[in-house]
Amino acid sequence: MAEKIKLLIVDDEVKFLESIAQRLEMRGFDVTKATNGERALDEARKSKFDVALLDLRMPGMNGVEVLGVLKKEHKYIEAIILTGHGSIDSAVECTKLGAFDYLPKPYELEKLLEVLQKAYEARLRKKFALDEVRMAKIQELAAGSSPLTILREMSKLDDGEK
């Protein structure tokens, strides 16, 4: 893999967190761990992630709250919910909030990898879509606008990428 997929894993179950992180690292992911919601949000503000794996029930901020803030602050991040609390209600709520997928614990690693791959592709697609918009914008602006306007529009688009 030319570029490592950047993962943020949030779970209060430390043993689980350690194991999954190690296994995913062995499979070439760039993994960052957080044991609660606040720490996860801090990490996300520090560096850009492609996909986040979120536990739902945690002390402090729960997974749904973390998901809400993440999706608000980072337009293109994809979130996968991993939870032992397999109720339909929470799945629906998470999907509404923009979660990419919902995996009940315990799961097959192959399944997780598959979902991760898809999430990353979705993330890439969004990136490409953004790039296309950017290109179109540049072409459009280049036709008549001043260079200053072009730069301002570009920075607006970049804001979303943060």
Contacting residues toward other proteins, per CB under 8 A:
13, 15-16, 19-20, 22-23, 26, 57-60, 62, 82-87, 104-107, 109
**Cβ of residue 44: shortest distance to other proteins, in angstroms?**
22
Q: Nearest approach, Cβ of 104 to other proteins (angstroms)?
A: 7
Give, in order, the Cα–Cα distances in Å from 6 to each of 2, 17, 60, 89, 98.
Answer: 12, 16, 25, 29, 19
The string of DSSP letters for 140-162 reads HHHHHS-HHHHHHHHHHHHHHH-
Q: Cβ closer to other proteins: 26 or 143?
A: 26
CB of 62 to other proteins, least distance (A): 7
Choose between 19 and 149: whose C-beta lies nearer to other proteins.
19
Which amino acid would we find at residue 157? L
Residue number, 13 or 153, with CB nearest to other proteins: 13
Residue 78 CB, nearest approach to other proteins (Å): 21
> How do 5-10 and 51-55 pair as beta strands?
parallel
Rank residues 64 and 99 by Cβ distance to other proteins and give the closer one: 64
How far apart are alpha carbons 67 and 84 in whole angstroms? 17
Tell me how far apart the alpha carbons of residues 63 and 55 are, in angstroms, rounded to a whole number.
5
